Structures are given as C-alpha cells and as structure tokens.
Amino acid sequence: MSAAADASSTSSPVPVGIDTENVTRWFDREGIAASSPLHFSRVAGGHSCLTYIVTDADGTRFVLRRPPLGQVLASAHDVAREHKIMAALADTDVPVPRMLGVCHDPEVNGAPFYVMSHVDGIVLHNADDVEQLLPSAEGRQRAADTMIDALVALHAVDIDAVGLGDLARRGGYVDRQLKRWASQWQASKTRELPAMERLHDWLHEHKPEEEPIGIAHGDFRFGNALHAPDGTTLAILDWELCTLGPPLADVSYLLRAWVEPDEPVAGSIVPATHAGGFPTRDEVVERYAERSGRELGDLGFWMAFNAWRSAAISEGVYRRYIDGKMGELPEDVERYARSVETTAEAGLKAAGID
C-alpha cells in the first residue's frame, strides 16, 4: 500500500508544523519507500529548525527537517541549503545521513523541508548523557578521536569536486560573519548588552590574515553528532550554519565547549566532556594539527569570535521561544537569556578585554 493511500487513518496527534496528508502525498511523489500510515513526532531539544521522526506502518523511520514556525530572519533556517550540503558530502569520508528528498514548495507543508535517513545512534548533549550512554573510558576516547577525525575529513574536502564551490564567497569570511551576526543580533535582541558591542568592535580591529578556506560546519559539537554505543561517530548533523571559511572557526568552536572535569561550568548545561574520560583541549589541538597538517594560528581571536557569534545565536533562540515560533515554551527558557550574557563575557575574557 502507498503512504498516501491511508494518510488520514492514523489517530495519533500530529505535531505542529506538519500537514500529514500533504507530506504523505509528497513521500509518494518522491518515491520514498514508506508504508501507510505515517506517524510524526517532534524531536525535543532542537532550538533552530524543527526536526521530526517519521515512522511508517512497518516501523521504518525517517527524519524530516523544516524551518521554525512563522516568519524567520533573512538567510536563516535554509533547509534546502542544508540538504544540498549533506547530499554533496555523501561520497566523502565525512559521516552524514543519506538524503532522500527535498521539497522547495511551501504550499506542501507551510515551508520548505527535506527528508533523510534515520541514523540509530546516541547523542551526547551533556555530561549526564555521557554517564548514562557512554560509561567506558575507551568509548569516550573513541568518541573524541572520531569526532576530531570527522572534522579533519570535513576540512580536507575539495569544495569544487563535491559541487560546493558556490556555497559562499571564498574570501572575507570574518567580515561576512561579523555582518551577518551583527544584523541578526540587532533583529532579534531583547535588550541592550554592551559586552556584545565591545566584542564586535574588538573583532573588527583584530581580524587575522585570511587563510585557505574549506567547508566550515559552524556548529561542530557533540550535541550535533550521533555516536554508536562504542563511541564511534556515525553522523554529523545540523548543517544550517555551514559555509566556506577557515578551518580554525570550527576548531575553536569545538574547543569552546570542551570543558574539562576540574573546570567550572557556566550556565545550566554541563558539557559532555565535563564527565571525564575525554582528552584535554591541548590533546584535541594536537590530534587535529597532526592529522590535518595545519597550523592553528591565533586561537585566541577565534575563541573570542565564536563566543560572540554563539551569544548572538542564543539570543535568536530565546527570541524565537518567547515569540512562540518554537512550539511549547520550556520552563527554563530564561536560561537562554542568561547564557547570552555569560557567553559574551567569556568572549571578552578570550579577547583579553577587561
């Protein structure tokens, strides 16, 4: 039986952001092998695009991604672009899910969306996840090593050979990023925060010389990866912020969240690496440098840059929640507002600004 033949027979509640009948018909038109009826469930924890698990009558699972509800900021949440990136990486050493189809027509489901294969793995969002899902020291070491190796593989991709040479302009990464996130900060900010302005000015004044570009994921961390029970990295997810840029942008971003067990934790989320059993930041840098053959340059600038950018992103998340564009409002929504402030302060510290 086709998926469309019995789209209305499911009695399960449909999550906001999904038109069951239209999406089911689209599955059929795309030739995606799925048995009716389709069941949709929202994946909790995402703070940007909306992610859903699609389960067919035989228990086969797929993943659907679409933008947040309502109007979104210009250039943000481009799911078709995200689909293009992962499809281009399919035959490289970068672990990604298999792309199954993309819908550009907002009439189908209220916004563009894409569907990809479901990868069965664990997500290490925080230290509690590590304690419960990856208890062995060997598994934690393997998770770290294979994450770093995945990053090395990403930065080694020939952008022209995979068809991503037009993903973004090849020069002026820092200027483009400063312009983009300053604009989105202004569009989404809920209050004045002088630390953000000071950090923005410092970054403009201390821009490093441009280095050879590659694919920069933009949000490379444990929370955006799926791992096997033995720690092996199975897939890198959430390519929404991906662009062409310097590899150090990704390296420093990963290091920002690499909090060691004896270090204090800022905010309510305890990073995965705080659980222990992971290599130190110095060891991460050493492995990446050895495997990639790259000079790492001025990490101080990039640590400050990523703190500023992360604060702008967190403010956007907070604004979307309070504006009702992310569905149900979480009880701890104010922690996003607090995280903006602590992240901006961390950026000032990385920049050496009093």
DSSP letter string, 217-248? -SS-SGGGEEE-TTS-EEEE---TT-EEE-HH
CA–CA separation, 42 vs 78, rounded Å?
19
Q: What is the DSSP letter of 122?
A: B
Between the CA of residue 129 and those of 47, 70, 223, 320, what are the distances in Å?
18, 32, 10, 26
Q: Which residue reads 């903006």 in tokens?
A: 340
Which range has the worst mean pLDDT, 104-108, 230-234, 268-272?
A: 268-272
Between the CA of residue 289 and those of 61, 233, 236, 251, 296, what are the distances in Å?
38, 19, 20, 10, 7
Tell which wins on pLDDT, 271 or 336: 271
Q: How confident is the model at residue 11 (pLDDT cuts 50, 70, 90)?
A: very low
What is the pLDDT of the chain when averaged over all its residues? 90
Q: What is the dihedral angle through the alpha carbons of 17, 90, 153, 297, rounded to the nearest 10 degrees?
A: -50
Side-chain-side CA neighbours of 69 within 13 Å: the count stands at: 13
Q: Which domains does the chain have, with CATH numbers?
A: 19-117 (3.30.200.20), 127-351 (3.90.1200.10)
Residue 298 in tokens: 């001025």
Mean pLDDT, range 54-75, rounded to an integer: 83
Residue 259 in tokens: 């909090």
Whole-structure pTM value: 0.85
CA–CA separation, 246 vs 248, rounded Å?
5
CA–CA separation, 68 vs 58, rounded Å?
29
At residue 354, the pLDDT reads: 79
Longest dimension (CA), the chain: 66
**pLDDT tens digits for 206-262?**
999 888 889 999 999 999 999 999 999 999 999 998 999 999 999 999 999 899 999
Residue 203 in tokens: 């970054």
Between the CA of residue 83 and those of 33, 167, 242, what are the distances in Å?
19, 12, 11
At residue 210, the pLDDT reads: 85
Q: Which residue reads 């018909």 in tokens?
A: 25
Query: What b-and-e string marks burial along 180-195, b requiring 16 or more CB atoms within 10 Å of the CB?
Result: bbbebbeebbeeebeb
